[in-house]
Structure formats: structure tokens, C-alpha cells
Structure 1
Amino acid sequence: MAGGRFSPALLVLLCHVLFGSSSFQPALVLDMAKILLDNYCFPENLVGMQEAIQQAINSGEILKISDRKTLASVLTVGVQGALNDPRLTVSFEPNFVPVMPPALPSLPTEQLIRLVRNSVKLEVLENNVGYLRIDQIIGEETAAKLGPLLRDNVWNKVANTSSLIFDLRYSTAGELSGVPFIISYFSDPEPLIHIDTVFDRPSNTTKELWTMSSIMGERYGKRKDLIVLTSKRTMGAAEAVAYTLKHLKRANIVGERSAGGSVKVEKIRIGDSGFYITIPVARSVNPITGQSWEVSGVSPSVNINAKEAVANAQNLLAVRSAIPRAIQSVSDIIRQYYSFTDRVPAFLQHLESTDFFSVISEEDLANKLNNELQSVSEDPRLMIKLTQDHPVIIEEDFEPENIPGDPAFLRNLVDTVFKVRILTGNTGYLRFDKFGDVSVMAKLGEQIAQKIWEALKDTENLIIDLRYNTGGSSASMGILLSFLQDPSQQFHFFTIYDRIQNTTTEFNTLSGLLGPPYGSKRGVYILTSHYTASAGEEFAYLMQSLHRGTLIGEITSGTLMHSKSFQVEDTDIVITVPFINFIDNNGECWLGGVLGSYMLGEKTIEQGSESERRASLFILTDLGYHLC
């Protein structure tokens, strides 16, 4: 509406239309232009109109249209197109008789009471959810006249509910002066809130609407949940209420986009002719958006068929009522388990100050919580998801007490767990898919030394295949890392901080290894895939940070087993909290995911023999051999 200008070319066309028949005088278009200038609520769009009309009259060009209704249609199209306002219409109605309904305040009190009772419905639903339906927004004078009735029969009863469904689906009439009364009930006394600004063109006046410092009856306030229902029939003052509450972030709107009415539209006769122009004479400007509900309507937060709006609103209120408990539950879990204890106060303060007004489903709540925590923590290990989107991974280790001491059984167990081969170019190959518990590894020490380190001791390079390694015990990595260093040198490998136990454990080079060490001089190449997880990732990460190995393959999964998952209150939301910090030899905390030095495509990774061949080629190339 506010972007158009009255086109001189259009005015030429209008005058051509009018001058084409002796039945119409140039005065008709001049009269219409004067009505627009004096009454149209966007006068800034009419700049230059009078000059353009005069030029059109002086041009003397003719376009003949004798049918008056056709002329009215042509004028309508022209004016709407020029001003980009569909409310502007021209009609030919020689027998039109305006009907003015009586003003509500002038009606007898008994009739007013009957009207209000017929247009207001109030009941209390399950879980103390209030339901208030108003089909007509009464104005300031009527509200003042019926104040005690409204207080005793509506507002004081509404005030006792825990949340409210405010139904405006059938509200098609009303007065804008009544809007501050309603908004005031759903806000606090102070500070006063600027609701709307209404510009009236005929009087050239601007009126600001504000909330009221005192009202008759108990306020509902701004803290309890409020849902406003709208339909495509919702119009006028009811749209102003819905639009204001939405953009004050006081209510969620459920239903259909409203009708897109107007503050005030008048049908004005053009001169003494039988032509009339319908024109919006006042406009609303919301102080928050700078725009209005007029023409475009109020868009709902939840777009749904109006017939289903009540049930949907009840479901939404159930979700909304769970938000405070969910936030408290998340806060308690983070406070008790999160491994970066120094960051916890900032997290909790951030959650407390976060606005959850836009949350309309459990999925929204999960996403909002996750995004807020991620933004402040920058820790990908701290995750909040819906249960079905976040399967909880349970770490399982070997149980040492269940492993027999029979040497033959232990040899078979090692043969099953560890795959060892010698590849082309005297390259060793070691694959294992899980890091065992330290006590288990100690029990299998002699068999591991014979199976692995005796077999690999004379190879020139070593491939460690972690493509299918899903994790296990991080503590046992110290044993493998010690075999890959010189026994004469002491190295600090990594540190583990356990938030639950409140312990810090350092892992350094182990002495007294049962097998021959591989040492630090020969090349080590680690194969990774997107299946590589937890301790498998940590080992790859450490080999990289220690500059002891070259990674070949895909980026790892980013799965951290040093976390616990908890259900959030009575929802389907799960929070996963890291309770262990894995700190490398440089003092950096690993937050998941390892990117290899050489990347192989997914297809190659899936084909084991081809991947091993490619790794061997990388090794030979790395060592300076020329390949055909």
C-alpha cells in the first residue's frame, strides 16, 4: 500500500475515459481525486496527483466508454494499480442508501448486557485451562458502561486459570478503542506499553493507543501462557488484538491467517453522480513492526484449520507448560555432570535469560535448547535431541572376571580380536575393533606380545586399521602408545578428567612392556572411517598430535563415549552431557572428530583389500619410491 504513487499516465487514461462520452463531465474525475486527497489514509502516495489531472484535462484526448458500470470497473483497476491498495473500489450505484447502525453506547443497558452475553463465552477446560471466546470487541465507552459486569462475569473468572485460550475465530466486528482494555489485561500495570498508532486522514489526526495503568478487575498478567485463535473470518479490532499480542511476544497465534480488514473504510459519493468510491480513511501502524494487520492479515504461529484450533491449542499449552520444568532439569543435569565445571555458571545464566516464546512443539524446544547451549559452549559433545533422533549408545567392555585363565583360550581370544598380517613391502597390518579394559589387556599381555609385537617387530612400516573400531577403554590406549615410542624416552600421552569421580589421571609411557617395542623411527599409518568412534578416534587424534602417525581415510564419527544421556523431565527430549575431558599432550581438550592427512572416498573405504592396497601405496610414496 505505502509504496505506490499516483501515476500521471493513469490519470491521463482516467480523463480519456471520462471525456469520451458527453454523459460524463471532467468534474467527475476531479471530484474523485479530491476525495482521495482529503480522505485516503496514505496521502504521501498522492503527491503530484492534481497537477497530473490538470495535464490530462488539457490534453483533450478521448477514449469512449459509455457503460457506467464498465467505467467504474476501469476506474477501480486503475486506482488500485496506481496505489497498490485493493481496498480502493469505484462503483456505480444510483440507488445506494447508506445504512448507519446505531452506536453501541447509545443502546439501553439491558440491550448492551444481552449483546455482550451473546458474544462472550467462558469455560474452564481440563488442567485449569481457560477458554474465552469473544465475537465482538466492544469500545471504550461500552466497556466503561459495563465495567462491573465484565469484571465479575469474565475477567475475574479468567484470572484464576493457569493458562488461557482466547478465541477470536468468530470476531468479525468491533471497535479499535476497546483494544487497549484487552491488551492491558494481558500485561503488567507498569511500564505502560505503546500498542498502536492510528492516523485518521479526514481529521488529519494521529492517536496513540497505550496500555492502561489501572483497569477494573484482576489482570491476567504477562507470565501465564496465552494462545489466541484466529480464522479467515477474524477481522478488524480482533485482528489488532491478535497482531499486538503476537508482536509483544505475549501470545502464540493458532489457526488461519485472518481476513486483513481495515481500521476504518468509508463509501463516499463522487460529486452529485451515482458513482461511489470506497476508501480506507484511517490506518494502523504497530510501533514494533512499523507495519499493520490491515490487508495482509495476522499470520498464525501454528497454521491449522480453524476447526482444529482448540485441540491444537491445548496440545501447545501442554508443551508450553513443560518448558520451565525442562529448563530446570537441563540446568540440574549440566550442573551435576558437565566436565567443564568453570563454564557451568555461564550456561545456567544464559538458559535463564533465553526467550522461549517461539517454542510451539517438543521438537522446537529440543532444537532451541540445543542451539542455545551450542552457541554459548561451542562444545559439540553437549547435545540435546528428541529421543527418536538420538539413540543412546551404551559402552560395553570385556568383563575380566569372566575370562578364563586357560592359555589356549586366551590365545584364541587374541586371535579373534586382533588381525595381524604382513603386506607387500614388508608393511605390517594390525586391526582391532575395540580397545579393551586395562585389566583385560593386562591378563592378555603375553598373548598380545606374541601375537602382535613379535610378528611385527621386523616390519619397515605399520598400518593400524581403526576403520571399524567403535571405542572401548581410553585408559588402555597408553599401552599401545607406549609400544610405538622408544622405551628410553618418557612421554606424556594424555590426561583424563572425570567430573563424576572428580579425578584427574595422567597417562605416560609405560615401562616393563612384555613384548618388543615398535619404537618411534618407523612409519605408522592409521586407517579411519566414519565408523571410527570414541577411543578409536582418540587414538587417531593422539597419533596426529604426537606427530607419530599419518591418518588415511574418512573423517571419524565424532562419537564420544565419555558422555551420559538423560531424559529431560517428562518429555521425549534427551540431553547428552560429557562428564570426561580427554586432554592431549599439548593441553588441548579433544571435542570430537578427526580428519585424516589423506582422504579416501567412501567406496574405497568399504572395500577392505583395496583400502589396504591404497594405504601401502601411500606409504611407499611417502618413503620416496616411484610407482608405475
Structure 2
Amino acid sequence: MTSLDHGGIVARAADLVTANYVFPGIGEKIAADLRAAAAAGRYAAAEGPEELGRLVTEDLQAANGDKHLRLAFHAEVVPDGKDAAAEQMFLKRAAESCGGVPRFELLEGGVAVVEFAPMLFPLALSADSVTAVMTLAAQARGLILDLRGNLGGDPYTAQYVCSYLFDEPTHLNTQFWRDGDAGDTEEQSWTLPHVPGRRLGRDKPVAVLTSGRTFSGGEELTYNLQQSGRAVVVGERTGGGAHPRNGWTLHPHLELTVPVGRSVNPTSGTSWEGVGIAPDIDVPAEQALERAVQELLARLG
């Protein structure tokens, strides 16, 4: 196990939060609190990277509960560099899940079920699988997207999936990225004018299944479809993480993740940050599929 430079890791974390956190004023306060805690000896007794990560994460999230702001422990050694830990994990888990599309099923009544898990991987890793499964699902009478085990992922992949479910250009989300001290840079997300294969279109009914584990990019896909009126959400309130993040390796087993942007939905004018997404039909996650099938079949008549 690589030795821990407790002070150096915490000091570097504080600097990165100050320079990159989406809310500069809050970032400065969090960084000051970290430095004060380090000076008081809070982290010095941490016996390993996992304990240090837990202690620092508690303090990072104390100001506003941002679940994307953490010093994450990784059991496997991660390479140095920005977003290196995420890239390593994406490669491994995408290969284990067929590009993040582990299940397609056609149920009685012509309702298709597509599961996106464990994440919405970047399109470089997932586009072939997403294209194939959405083209196949377009032939069904209705569609259920199972996001109960989706822990996050790439906003451009959420945009890509949504683009199969609309016929007309639709504004899905707006991201505001921190741009140093110059303020925010705005980036709008719209459905794409072209997708490979066949669209499901606007008229066929769609349901999204959620659980308390559904998070981040999985929540963005859910919220885009719910707020646009394109899908009914069935299941449990989601985890509540709306801030896209970057990551920095601070130790072979520790990655600092810092939110660098915030989402604003064009319909609600807000996001799911900290509160999660309330389902339209609130049922335990394990009952969500059965309930969603009933809902879609009733709409199909």
C-alpha cells in the first residue's frame, strides 16, 4: 500500500475545490473548512486511504450535501490524471454489461423492456449497443426503460437515448459549466436531428423505472422524459445528484470528484439536485415493472 501524505492530499483537494467547484463561494468555504480540519489534526490518524476518503468526504459534503463531491476510495489502483479513474472504470464495466445495455425483453402485449445499467457509458463505448436496442424497441407497441440499477453516466448518452423518443426537436436540459472566474458557460441539450436506425417516435407510450439507487446521468434521462411529458416514471424517488463532475487522482486509491456544472430543466426551471425525482406512480422498486406494464397496456387499450 502506498504511504499516505495526509496533509498533501487534503491540501490538493482544497485547492481543486476552490478552483473548480460549480458554486465558487461555497467551494471557498468548503476548502477553508478542509484546511482548518487538517490543521486541527482531524485526518492525521487515518490509517489508510479508505478511512481518509471517508473522513474527507464527510467534510466535503457538510456544507450542502452534494453527493458528487467526494474523495472516493478505489480498491483497485487507478492511474494518475484527470478523470483517469472514471475512464478505467468505464472500460471495465462497459465490457461486462454489453455497453451498458444488459437486457432487452419483449413482454406479452408488445411492450419492450430495455435496461440501462450499471451506467450510461460514453457513446464511444455504448453507441452501438444503444443504437441496436433502441432500433429494435422501436418496433414494439410501448417501451419501458429500466433505470433502477443505473448509477449515473454521460449526459450525451442520455441525449442520444432521448432522441429516439421524439419526432420533433425538443429542448431537454441546459447545463451551466463553471468557467474559471468568468462566470458560467451555457450549453443546451436538444434531441438530435438524426439517429441511426429507427425512432420510436412521440406517440408510443413510454415508462421509466426508478429506485433510490437511480442517480446522476440516470436521473437526467428520467427527468428529461418526465418533464417533457414523454414518459411516466414508476418506482421510487431517485438519489438526487444533478451536478456533472470531473475527477482527479490524488493517491493510487483516492479520486477527488468535484462538480463543475449544474442542470436546469427548461420546463421546471430547476433540477433534481438534493431532492431526487418524485415518481409519477410511487411503488417499491421491485414492483415497478409489473405496475408499469399495467399502465402502458391500459394506455394502449
TM-score (norm. length: structure 2): 0.72
User: CA separation of 1:44/1:123 partners in 2, compared to 1, >3 Å: closer, same or farther?
Assistant: same
Partner of 1:542: none
After superposition, what is the alpha-carbon deviation per residue over 1:466-525, rounded to whole angstroms, capped at 9, x for unaligned?
Answer: xxxxxxxxxxxxxxxxxxxxxxxxxxxxxxxxxxxxxxxxxxxxxxxxxxxxxxxxxxxx
For 1:303-342, what aligned pairs fall within 5 Å after superposition? 303-322=282-301
Aligned residue among 288, 298, 306 for 2:277: 298
User: CA separation of 1:296/1:214 partners in 2, compared to 1, >3 Å: closer, same or farther?
Assistant: same
The separation in 1 between residues aligned to 2:145 and 2:56, in whole angstroms, is 42
SS at match of 2:187: strand
Partner of 1:198: 175
Percent identity between matched residues is: 28
The separation in 2 between residues aligned to 1:114 and 1:276, in whole angstroms, is 22
The separation in 2 between residues aligned to 1:113 and 1:269, in whole angstroms, is 26
- The answer to whether the Cα contact below 8 Å between 1:265 and 1:282 also exists between their aligned partners in 2 is no
User: CA separation of 1:68/1:224 partners in 2, compared to 1, >3 Å: closer, same or farther?
Assistant: same
Partner of 2:265: 286
Shift of 1:315: 1.6
Aligned residue among 160, 166, 178 for 2:139: 160
For 1:57-456, what aligned pairs fall within 5 Å after superposition? 67-69=44-46, 79-89=60-70, 97-99=77-79, 100=85, 102=87, 115-116=97-98, 119-135=101-117, 136-142=119-125, 146=128, 151=131, 153-188=132-167, 190=168, 192-201=169-178, 205-261=185-241, 262-264=243-245, 266=247, 269=250, 278-322=257-301
The separation in 2 between residues aligned to 1:268 and 1:121, in whole angstroms, is 33
- The answer to whether the Cα contact below 8 Å between 1:245 and 1:251 also exists between their aligned partners in 2 is yes
After superposition, what is the alpha-carbon deviation per residue over 1:284-337, rounded to whole angstroms, capped at 9, x for unaligned?
Answer: 332222332344332211111222112111221233335xxxxxxxxxxxxxxx
The separation in 2 between residues aligned to 1:213 and 1:231, in whole angstroms, is 31
Shift of 1:253: 0.6
Q: Which runs of 5 or more structure 1 residues have no equivalent in the other structure?
A: 1-22, 323-628
- The answer to whether the Cα contact below 8 Å between 1:180 and 1:210 also exists between their aligned partners in 2 is yes
The separation in 1 between residues aligned to 2:143 and 2:238, in whole angstroms, is 20
Shift of 1:29: 7.3
Amino acid at match of 1:182: V
For 1:545-560, what aligned pairs fall within 5 Å after superposition? none
Shift of 1:40: 1.0
**RCO (CA 8 Å, sep 6+): is it higher in 1 or 2?**
2
The separation in 2 between residues aligned to 1:84 and 1:114, in whole angstroms, is 32
Amino acid at match of 2:110: N
Amino acid at match of 1:177: Y
- The answer to whether the Cα contact below 8 Å between 1:89 and 1:279 also exists between their aligned partners in 2 is yes
Shift of 1:217: 1.5
- The answer to whether the Cα contact below 8 Å between 1:263 and 1:294 also exists between their aligned partners in 2 is no
SS at match of 2:260: strand
User: CA separation of 1:112/1:310 partners in 2, compared to 1, >3 Å: closer, same or farther?
Assistant: closer
- The answer to whether the Cα contact below 8 Å between 2:247 and 2:255 also exists between their aligned partners in 1 is no
After superposition, what is the alpha-carbon deviation per residue over 1:333-356, rounded to whole angstroms, capped at 9, x for unaligned?
Answer: xxxxxxxxxxxxxxxxxxxxxxxx
More helix by share: 1
Shift of 1:84: 4.6
Shift of 1:77: 5.2
The separation in 1 between residues aligned to 2:106 and 2:68, in whole angstroms, is 40
- The answer to whether the Cα contact below 8 Å between 2:21 and 2:178 also exists between their aligned partners in 1 is yes
User: CA separation of 1:268/1:213 partners in 2, compared to 1, >3 Å: closer, same or farther?
Assistant: same
After superposition, what is the alpha-carbon deviation per residue over 1:394-413, rounded to whole angstroms, capped at 9, x for unaligned?
Answer: xxxxxxxxxxxxxxxxxxxx
Shift of 1:183: 0.7
- The answer to whether the Cα contact below 8 Å between 2:68 and 2:245 also exists between their aligned partners in 1 is no
- Does 2:15 align with 1:34? yes
Amino acid at match of 2:46: K
TM-score (norm. length: structure 1): 0.38
User: Which structure is larger by alpha-carbon Rg, 1 or 2?
Assistant: 1
Shift of 1:231: 1.8
Shift of 1:184: 0.9
Shift of 1:44: 4.4
User: CA separation of 1:130/1:87 partners in 2, compared to 1, >3 Å: closer, same or farther?
Assistant: closer
For 1:469-480, what aligned pairs fall within 5 Å after superposition? none
SS at match of 1:239: helix
Amino acid at match of 1:81: A
Shift of 1:239: 1.6
Shift of 1:79: 4.6
- The answer to whether the Cα contact below 8 Å between 1:130 and 1:158 also exists between their aligned partners in 2 is yes
- The answer to whether the Cα contact below 8 Å between 2:152 and 2:219 also exists between their aligned partners in 1 is no
After superposition, what is the alpha-carbon deviation per residue over 1:214-261, rounded to whole angstroms, capped at 9, x for unaligned?
Answer: 111221112221111112222332221111101111111111222334
Amino acid at match of 1:231: S
After superposition, what is the alpha-carbon deviation per residue over 1:137-187, rounded to whole angstroms, capped at 9, x for unaligned?
Answer: 24333455x2xx755x42333222222222122223532211111111111
| Superposition RMSD in Å | 4.2
